[in-house]
Each structure stands twice: as structure tokens, then as C-alpha cells.
Amino acid sequence: MTSSMPSSQAGQGGSPGRPAVLVTRAIFPDVIERLSQYFDVDHNQSDEVLDAAALRARLAGKAGVLANAADRIDGTLVAGLPGLRAVCNMAVGYNNLDVPALTAAGIVATNTPDVLTETTADFGWALLMATARRVTESEHWLRAGHWQRWAYDMFLGVDVHGSTLGILGMGRIGQALARRAAGFGMTVLYHNRSQLPATTEQALGARYVSKAELLAQADHLVLVLPYSAESHHAIGAAELARMKPTATLVNLARGGVVDDAALAEALRARRIFAAGLDVFENEPDVHPALLEVPNVVLTPHIASASEKTRRAMANLAADNLIAALDAGPSAGHPPSVINPEVLPRRR
């Protein structure tokens, strides 16, 4: 396999009959092995940062790329890459890809839905619980040696059981969050671009409301909507002002869905009770004002990070890449295509 080669030498143009592909970030070594059965693999197991220029240089001569949600792949980039045929994200979100530009160029784009749904919903609940019950704030206080005696009003939080859960974006992950709410005896409200069929709503015990009502009614509001120009700053100062002062906010979606500066100010002024954030506007940089407020739980974009799920995501991204480049048992039929209309006229 080519993964033993220095990564910068591997796969420029591919050897005869073997397309060259790039894996932009370090990944499970056995996934590199799998890809190497079909392709000359230029990998990045040292996980060096590939800025836009380095990404462009490494993509020269490649037929496909296994990309990460932080790799920006847009029309300008692919215009200079006439051999690129497949862009396979190891993420369910794909706001890093300019899908219309890829489609126009005849490039297949894929993502990794389904395999991360339940793990991500579990983490949404972990963040919600930690936020409502001040788990990390109290732990930091304890570790700092401040605990001298028990007190009746130490770290009073807000209840989760019996409260109203609001879900903004009711796709697969939103629905998995809603299913878990039944055990807490919660009222579940949601807002989405389109209302779910009545049978699905009934099965989830969830009721569709306007965004304004969701903001006003939710005791715990969880964001799981895709990031796009329309959802940019879906939660900003005006929306935060409509929430209950006792409410919590959890962002599992993408940085940019929340105006982080406005949120930090709302937390500082106690306009809402607390927030739990797994995603940020300028990852890996976190808005400095968020680092200053105690009533926020901050995690480094790990909602899908269980061993089993990250393996499943990596393997699904590899399955997509193999099939999109007409290799393997599903040649020509990648399992999760974002732009299926491109298949009949792909490069």
C-alpha cells in the first residue's frame, strides 16, 4: 500500500489504472489500507494543517478526495482541478462544499448521514443535562479547591424533567433527540422548514410551532438545523431576547447558526440561564467573550465522537469514494450522494 510512502510523494496522478486520491486529514489507518486496495492514496497521517494553497497543491492530479468538514471545497478550487471526480465528506453537514459548483462541474459529492444520528443525539442530551445542571461549572469549582462545605443553594440549576424541549431543525438528529425526551416526561415542540407528517409527529410526541413560539416556549432549545446562508445567525440578539430568562440553549449544528458574540453577551447579562456549545463560528478559535462567562459548557466539536461512530463515518466516506470512482462492490453507486442528479453526467 502507498500509505508507507511519504504522503507528499504519493499518488500524483496515480499509477496506470489506479486513480490517485487525497485524504485531507489523519484517519483510522485501516481506512487508508482499504482505500489503498483501489487507489494511490496521498494521506496526511501526520495531520498537518492544509491551508487553501496546500489543499489546492495536494489535490492536483487527484480523482477524488476524502475531506473533512473544515476543508473548503468551492468552485474556484475545482475549476483548477479538471481530474477531480468525487468529493466525499466525512461529516453529515456539508456547508464546506459548494454543492452547486460541484454539480455544475460533474463532480459527485457525498456525506455521512445516518451512521452518526444516535451518537450525536446522545451528545445533545449530554450537553443539555450538563448545561441545565451546571456540571462543568461546578466541577471546575471543585477542582479549584473551593469546596469547603455543602450549601442548600450551591449550583442551583434548572430542571429537565417535565419541562419543554424545543428543537430547531427536525431532521434525523432532531427526531432522535425528541425520541429521548419521552423518558423525561417533556413536552416537545419543534420548528423546521417543513412540518413532519402527522404520523411521525405522533410517534415522536412532537408538535410543530412557529419559530417565535418555539423561542418563547422552550425551556431547553436545541439547534440541529443545517448551516446555510438562510440559517446564518438564526439565533442572534433578537432571538435570545425572546427566550425565557430561565432557558438553556444547545448548539449541536454548526458555528454560524448562532451569533456567538450576541450569545456571550446574553449569557453575561443572564438574559438566558446557560448554553452548551459543541460548534463555534471560527473553529477552532472560540469567541473570547464565551471563554469569560461561567454559564456555558464548551466542547470541541465532538458530538459524533464515539469510537464506533467515527469508524462508521470514516468507512462510509471511504465506501462513497470507492464507489464514486467506479471501484469496489458498489461501483458507480455511492451509498450517500448529496447531488444524485450528477450521477448520469459525472466526469
Binding flag, residue 223, ligand GLV (CB under 6 A): no
Cβ(222)–Cβ(252) under 8 Å?
yes
- 333 among known catalytic residues: no
What's the CA gap between 220 and 249, in Å, rounded?
Answer: 6
- 232 among known catalytic residues: no
Binding flag, residue 304, ligand GLV (CB under 6 A): yes
* Rounded least distance, CB 71 to ligand GLV, Å: 12
* Rounded least distance, CB 302 to ligand GLV, Å: 9
Cβ(191)–Cβ(208) under 8 Å?
yes
- Tell me the window of 56-64, 89-97, 134-142, 215-223 that interacts with ligand GLV (CB under 6 A): 89-97
* Rounded least distance, CB 224 to ligand GLV, Å: 10
Residue 171 or residue 236: which is nearer to ligand GLV going by CB? Answer: 171
Q: Give the residue, chosen from 31, 63, 86, 92, that forms a contact with ligand GLV under the rule CB under 6 A.
A: 92
Residues 6+ apart with CB under 8 A from 227: 93, 95, 253, 254, 255, 256, 257
What's the CA gap between 242 and 203, in Å, rounded?
Answer: 29
Cβ(45)–Cβ(29) under 8 Å?
yes
What's the CA gap between 48 and 273, in Å, rounded?
Answer: 39
Binding flag, residue 116, ligand GLV (CB under 6 A): yes
Amino acid at position 144, single letter: A
Binding flag, residue 170, ligand GLV (CB under 6 A): no
- 301 among known catalytic residues: yes
Placement of cell 438564526 in the chain: 234
Task: List beta partners, residue 73.
Answer: 97
Q: Give the residue, chosen from 13, 61, 83, 93, that forms a contact with ligand GLV under the rule CB under 6 A.
A: 93
Binding flag, residue 226, ligand GLV (CB under 6 A): no
Closest to 220 in 3D by CA, of 308, 127, 291: 127
Q: Which of residues 47-86 bind ligand GLV (CB under 6 A)?
A: 69
Give catalytic residues, as residue numbers.
254, 283, 301
For ligand GLV, the binding residues (CB under 6 A) are 69, 91-93, 116, 304
